[in-house]
Amino acid sequence: MTIYICKSLISLSLKNSSHPNKTPISLLSLLFFSSSPKPPIAVADYLIDRHKFSAETAWKVSSFVKYLKRPEETDSILSFLKESGFSDTHLEHVIKVAPYVLSANLEHTIKPKFKFFLDLGFSSSDVVKFVLSNPSVLNRSVDNQLGPSILALKSVLGWNMDDVSRVLKKSGFGRILNHDLAKTLIPNIEFLKSCGISLSQITRSICYYPRFFLFKPTRIRECVKIVDEMGFNRECKTFLHAIQVISRMSKETWELKLDVFKSLGFSEDDILSVFRRQPMVFAVSERKIKEITQLFLSTGKFDISLVVKNPDLLILSVENRLKPRLRVMEVLERRNLLLKKPSMMTVFQMTDKKFLEKYVIPYSDEVGELFVVEKASLTAEICANT
């Protein structure tokens, strides 16, 4: 075949040379254009020269994809993403995380994902956020992965498409779709329902902590067993929170939390009481547990029982809530400005606006500098409306 082609090219070249009005055809050029494809383009040069990517991004991407065989198709992909609302910075992020996008098929791989999410009720800006938070979604099949996952959610939870769209947004723009829901989320939901946890609580939890439902079912069952052994009432609203807290802690981390509480003077019964009342305390850092407990003990007015009875204290901000309010209340008590001593938990759980109205603005001469400076804008707003 090769010999035949060569003979044909030579014959064509000789014929052209016999006609003075025709430009001779180079045998070498004929061979080149007939048999040699365009040379591939180095990805780093392509991204920097043609699309003005940063050198850092270009070289990082080139470590995964070195050459482009069809740069014009890559141009189409990047143009489509820009037209869909992606900025230059967005594009760099997507390509850095998912370099395979450069050689994807625009019509069969990229565009169907956008249509899928737009049909679900996402806006164009939602889709941009979705892809930015989870670029790997561009590599997932609509028919075999994304679509079945949505149908699975609907079948188990009974949501309409608007509800599914809302949950996907609240759960980090759909990271749960990266998993096989038939093997994780669905059996976990069914098991938790069998434990007496309401569907409405499960639904809310999926919005705020979807990763919990993606654990292997055996892990969820282990956590339920641990919480049951602690004496939790399954009908209590904190039951699910307790399971979630346990699920994200290793045995070593759990032991470390226990040691911190014991070092502060908590008994084992105290620790168990704290966990039962507010499981999320065990998600707080050891440093914060120490700082807040020692803050109250240092006043000389409170002991461990304050925290045991009110574990929500360990979740509040030290600098923005606990310390300023403690200082204000100490001054008001010392100067006998309070007709009735309020519950400390009531004081700490108030909104900033309510606290300012009740304990700061009426006594601004005495305590203004302790608190109002930090909340100046809010105080000005309240004063303007009174």
12 or 173: which leads in pLDDT = 173
In a domain, 241, yes or no: no
> Looking at residue 34, what is its pLDDT?
44
Q: Is pLDDT above 70 for 377?
A: no
CATH code for the domain of 78 = 1.25.70.10
Q: What is the 3-state secondary structure (H, E, C) of the chain?
A: CHHHHHHHHHHHHHHHHCCCCCCCCCHHHHHHHHHCCCCCEEHHHHHHHHHCCCHHHHHHHHCCCCEECCHHHHHHHHHHHHHCCCCHHHHHHHHHHCHHHHHCCHHHHHHHHHHHHHHHCCCHHHHHHHHHHCHHHHHCCHHHHHHHHHHHHHHHHCCCHHHHHHHHHHCCCCHHHHCCCCCCHHHHHHHHHHCCCCHHHHHHHHHHCHHHHHCCHHHHHHHHHHHHHCCCCCCCCHHHHHHHHHHCCCHHHHHHHHHHHHHCCCCHHHHHHHHHHCHHHHHCCHHHHHHHHHHHHCCCCCCHHHHHHCHHHHHCCHHHHHHHHHHHHHHHHHCCCCCCCCCHHHHHHCCHHHHHHHHHHHHHHHHHHHHCCCCHHHHHHHHHCC
> Looking at residue 181, what is its pLDDT?
83
Average pLDDT, integer, range 103-112: 93
- Tally of structural domains, the chain: 3
> Looking at residue 362, what is its pLDDT?
87
Give yes or no: residues 8 and 49 share one domain.
Answer: no
> Looking at residue 261, what is its pLDDT?
95
101 or 39: which leads in pLDDT = 101
Give yes or no: residues 125 and 55 share one domain.
Answer: yes
Average pLDDT, integer, range 19-36: 45
Give yes or no: residues 90 and 107 share one domain.
Answer: yes
| pLDDT 10s digits, 53-67 | 999 998 999 888 888
Tokens standing for residue 301: 């007015």
Give yes or no: residues 70 and 134 share one domain.
Answer: yes
Give yes or no: residues 24 and 55 share one domain.
Answer: no
| pLDDT 10s digits, 305-348 | 999 999 999 999 998 899 989 989 998 988 888 888 888 889 99
| pLDDT 10s digits, 244-301 | 999 999 889 999 999 999 999 999 999 999 999 999 999 999 999 999 999 999 988 8
Q: Is pLDDT above 50 for 229?
A: yes
Give yes or no: residues 50 and 132 share one domain.
Answer: yes
106: domain range? Answer: 39-139
Half-sphere exposure of 27 (CA within 13 A, CB side): 12
* Phi, psi dihedral angles at 233 (to 5 degrees): -85, 120
| CB distance 101 to 79 below 8 Å | no
| pLDDT 10s digits, 135-192 | 888 888 888 888 888 777 777 767 666 667 666 766 655 567 777 888 888 899 999 9
Longest dimension (CA), the chain: 118
In a domain, 347, yes or no: yes
In a domain, 346, yes or no: yes
